[in-house]
Structure 1
Amino acid sequence: MKKVLLLLADGFEMFEASVFIDVIGWNLVDGDGTTSLYSVGLQREVTSTFKQRVLVDYTTDEVNVSDFDALAIPGGFAEYGFYEHAYDERFLALIRQFEAQQKPITTICTGAFPVAKSGILHGRRGTTYNLNPVRQQTLKGLGVNVVNEAIVTDGNIVTSWNPSTALDVAFLLLEKLTSPEQADKIRTLMGFK
């Protein structure tokens, strides 16, 4: 079983988190049954953008990275406290552990920021929210070679530029965990192909 850890900061975008939940879950139930997803936050209850409350499976201090095969990070809104959690050292340490084990790390939109802040994107290619130049400039200021593309892969790290890329990133993660054929099968079953 390939296990995905969904890293949720306060202020995370529900849509961006839900694509990982659905794609990985569809593969578990209607696909080859080889993937599962678990959520993690700084505390047991995390609040999304627009103030929905979510109970996570683990807190960061309960996670053993060796038990997981990939990390998924949705973006979020500063107005809802995203960066306070996303830049917390416990989040950054978890990201660094996935990198140390060369496991896939996939992000959507501003989910690239904690990865960059952790230092593992320094000198590497990446992208983030593209409709406000401040976001890409901030990412560049964290040492990332910002590429103006929808989805950027550099080694084991995938970044993307806005919520419109969310499903493609989730399917790319499924492809990395299974195969291109399996990802296409789930895309078809979900009606996206």
Structure 2
Amino acid sequence: MAERLTGKRVAFLMTDGFEQVEFTRPWEALRAAGAEVELIAPETGTVQGMNHVEPADAFEVDHAASDVEADLYDALVLPGGVVNADHLRMDRPSVAFARGFFEQHKPVAVICHGAWILAEADVLHGRRMTSYPSLRTDLANAGADWVDEQVVVDEGLVSSRRPDDLPAFIDATIEEISEGAHAGQVA
């Protein structure tokens, strides 16, 4: 599988309070599949992971969201975590960065609470997706067709509900990134 994503550059967008396993497992799997991965956050420095409500590890940020554009990457991954997702959706450069992947028809993979930024980016109209159940109303109000499934793939948008869904989420994410751009993916 190492050659499957060779030559692909993938951004992980997150900030303090992300659910660590929703970052580390996809990060490691995409790297093992050959992708070059970079951590993007609202500010440079480090971001603090969480194991649910307990502090976990800190990770070094590669670039601030205001310093990068979606055209530099082949795909975007959005880990969850309530605090992470709530803070990201309030950061204009992060929202613009996420929206850019939809405007350029590039794959986006989101798990758990990570979908809040997509509601803020106004890119969910008519999209079929899932998330942590508490986001159902928010995502439906943003125009999504929300379903309660382990993983949903809709024209390059991969979504899952929670850490238990990570194996299916990772497989679908690798598949979508290996396929590349999606003509139906729009902002």
Instruction: Please say whether Structure 1 and Structure 2 have the same fold, judged by a TM-score greater than 0.5.
Output: yes
CA distance in 1, matches of 2:47, 2:66: 15
Letter in 1 for 2:65: T
Give, in whole Å, the separation in 1 of the partners of 2:90 and 2:126: 19
Provide structure 2 residue ranges, at least 5 long, that are not aligned to the other structure: 1-6, 180-187
Provide the secondary structure at the position in 2 that maps to 1:48. Answer: strand
Q: Which runs of 5+ in 1 are unaligned?
A: 29-34, 180-193
TM-score where L is the length of structure 2: 0.82
Match of 1:113 among 102, 109, 116: 116
Asked if structure 2 preserves the Cα contact closer than 8 Å seen for 1:105 and 1:158, the reply is yes
Q: Distance in 1 between matches of 2:167 and 2:116?
A: 19
1:63 aligns with 2:81: no
In the alignment, structure 1 residue 72 sits paired with structure 2 residue 72: no
Query: What is the match of residue 32 of structure 1?
Result: none
Q: Secondary structure at the match of 1:110?
A: helix
Aligned equivalents of 2:112, 2:168: Cα separation in 1: 12
1:89-136: CA deviations, max 9, x gaps? 111101111111100000111111111221101232111113xxx332
Could you say what secondary structure the match of 2:125 adopts? coil
Tell me, yes or no, if the aligned pair for 1:116 and 1:122 is still in contact at 8 Å: no
Matching residue of 1:38: 38
Correspondence for 2:91 among 88, 91, 109 = 88
In 2, Cα distance between equivalents of 1:87 and 1:122: 20
Q: From 125, 129, 132, give the equivalent of 1:126.
A: 129
Structure 1 runs (4+) greater than 4 angstroms displaced: none
Alpha-carbon distance in 1 for matches of 2:172, 2:155: 13
Q: 1:48: Cα distance to partner?
A: 2.0
Q: 1:14 aligns with which of 12, 20, 36?
A: 20
Q: Corresponding residue for 1:136? A: 136
Matched, 1:3 2:26: no
Amino acid at match of 1:152: V
Seq. identity, %: 28
For the pair shown, the structure with the greater C-alpha radius of gyration is: 1
1:4-45 deviation per Cα after TM superposition (whole angstroms, max 9, x unaligned): 1011122111100012211111122xxxxxx21111001122
With the length of structure 1 as denominator, give the TM-score of the two structures.
0.80
1:54 is matched with 59
The answer to which structure has the higher helix fraction is 1
